[in-house]
Structure 1
């Protein structure tokens, strides 16, 4: 495997620095660019999967360095503490025993599909979103309309309210605080594709109508 971490800029000075709080994290499209540059430079490999792995950021002492070990297989999360997770782009590849015939290298790109928001919520309620089946149907319609070549797909949890949204490469778990997460679909692609005309894709209203028609009342 080959792991690609975002560049981090840590807070300087004060309590934020002692606690190892992040000031800036490189967005997803930059990290995918790093992975793509690495892929273009390789020979004799075959990419079999691409995924995002959440890695706990560690700081063992106030004055110690920040450590992000994407190869570590376990971690401890303390119930009332604040834990920072950094997202890693992992490319899984194999090297066949017999040489592969020359071919254009994989050009890695991606497309996120975020569930449509159906209601804004309020003080005593949370926002409502379309379900995963509806988001998946929109993703499949987009793939069919563009003819895109998919090389992998995954479901990613993003925290609602984070400034980077679906491009975010880190998040904080703040212990016993109530936090709202959204499941998005991410498909990894070979090549760059133009967005199809809106009329060729299902609208949120169409998806909502289909969802109601699929329900069986007992």
Structure 2
């Protein structure tokens, strides 16, 4: 992370300053800043749903035309933050308690519409042979503001990109023959630009933030896995972090990905947070060998590890719990070692080969120096995943709004307070997709990805959390979907 990545605008622009000309031209209006958005917050509703959100996407600067493989272009990611603040200014009774990056596939439009983005969809198809185009936005989870808060909440963003490094590798080629059976080889040394690991990114951020504080208090931190390009690329991780879309001309072309940390904060008095990270991988079960693949426990095993770790923590401030994934090798593993590199910030995916992925939990927190620190000794962390219902007689799934309505009914019935929330996405492999910790990406085939909402609870140990959703609506069914 470079020094310029940390913004320094602490004080908001006041109307009287604009009128007097002290701050230059007036800030852009709400309509000028906002891109496409969708929210579960309804105007004039008596109270918020138990779990409320808004998705804000960037404005499209060039529409493109997917019919002829002309990709659309969108505003930089930081512009989405401006749109989020414009929306918050128009809704002063609401506050954000978590931000996260959401990804939506850009679809071919109909008629005069060249492209479209469906914000309500809970599933999409990744084509193996045709072009794929995606756009990133911000999902803000919302709550009612306290009555004693007088100023409108304003958020900011710091992208923590991995530091660059150069590595050398050697290639050999045949130089000539000596006699009839022997030959000589000559070598060439090449240099490849790559990136330090994720923990190194955190280490450098912690060192720099001491001299250049964050202009506010940290809201949450998340990992964004972003694509560099198809194959090798000259773009830097810093440039990629500012992009709000990516594409591939064919799903069969190799991808190069990196990990960038996004730190969302609420603007206010400067702070110097010291970021820390913990990871919990599902336990490996059994011994792999000839004809026997490597196997891991279900994802709940990682969740149980995280719950046990959290109960032992004192004097920390928990920032976020998120589901991530990492590649692992599939060798016979005769020596008992498995290579799972969760720290890598420079990965290559080759679709023509099978790729094995392991899902794990990553936790971000700040150390005892944080302004707000607590003990989690009596925390009994548990989770529930709320997947979309598959529509009856159709291949598709219910919408995001329908899923959120069922979640709201379940939360109101149980009365459980929410400890955390995240949006998760898995490869559609049937009802067990969200329970499995490992899956395989096969080449030369299209893929269906399904989105779900995962909620974290921290009730006292004597309170159990029901596993299944309650029936929503009369009779437990809708006209198109079965309700669990």
* TM bracket, shorter-chain basis: 0.7 to 0.9
Deviation at 1:37, TM superposition (A): 0.7
- Corresponding residue for residue 57 of structure 1: 328
Inter-partner Cα distance in structure 2 for 1:164 and 1:33: 18
Deviation at 1:165, TM superposition (A): 2.7
- Corresponding residue for residue 362 of structure 2: 90
- Corresponding residue for residue 385 of structure 2: 112
Inter-partner Cα distance in structure 2 for 1:178 and 1:184: 20
- Corresponding residue for residue 289 of structure 2: 12
> Of 340, 352, 377, which residue of structure 2 is paired with 1:80?
352
Task: Provide Cα deviations, 1:158-179, integer angstroms capped at 9, x if missing partner.
Answer: 2333573321112111121233
2:401 is paired with a residue whose SS is helix
8 Å CA contact 1:50, 1:90 repeated in 2:
yes
Inter-partner Cα distance in structure 2 for 1:197 and 1:63: 43
* Equivalent runs, 1:1-218 vs 2, <5 Å: 1-9=277-285, 11-14=288-291, 21-22=293-294, 24-58=295-329, 65-97=337-369, 100=373, 104-120=377-393, 127-161=395-429, 164-191=432-459, 192-195=463-466, 198=470, 201-202=472-473, 205-206=477-478
Inter-partner Cα distance in structure 1 for 2:469 and 2:323: 29
Alignment coverage as a number of residue pairs: 197
Deviation at 1:79, TM superposition (A): 2.1
RMSD between aligned residues: 3.1
1:149 is paired with a residue whose SS is coil
8 Å CA contact 1:4, 1:90 repeated in 2:
yes
Q: Residue 164 and residue 55 in structure 1: after superposition, are their counterparts in 2 closer, same or farther (change >3 A)?
A: same
Q: Residue 99 and residue 202 in structure 1: after superposition, are their counterparts in 2 closer, same or farther (change >3 A)?
A: same
Gaps spanning 5+ residues in structure 1: where? 122-126, 210-218
Inter-partner Cα distance in structure 1 for 2:374 and 2:447: 50
1:27 is paired with a residue whose SS is coil
Using the size of structure 2 for normalisation, the TM-score is 0.36
1:133 is paired with a residue whose SS is helix
Inter-partner Cα distance in structure 2 for 1:202 and 1:111: 21
Q: Please say which structure displays the higher CA radius of gyration.
A: 2
Higher fraction of helix: 1
Gaps spanning 5+ residues in structure 2: where? 1-276
Task: Provide Cα deviations, 1:137-157, integer angstroms capped at 9, x if missing partner.
Answer: 211222222222222222222
- Corresponding residue for residue 124 of structure 1: none
**Structure 1 runs of 4+ off > 6 angstroms?**
60-64
Task: Provide Cα deviations, 1:105-134, integer angstroms capped at 9, x if missing partner.
Answer: 43211011121121355xxxxx22111221
Higher fraction of strand: 2
Task: Provide Cα deviations, 1:185-208, integer angstroms capped at 9, x if missing partner.
Answer: 211111254449946x44663485
Deviation at 1:56, TM superposition (A): 1.4
8 Å CA contact 1:112, 1:185 repeated in 2:
yes
Using the size of structure 1 for normalisation, the TM-score is 0.75
Inter-partner Cα distance in structure 2 for 1:179 and 1:12: 29
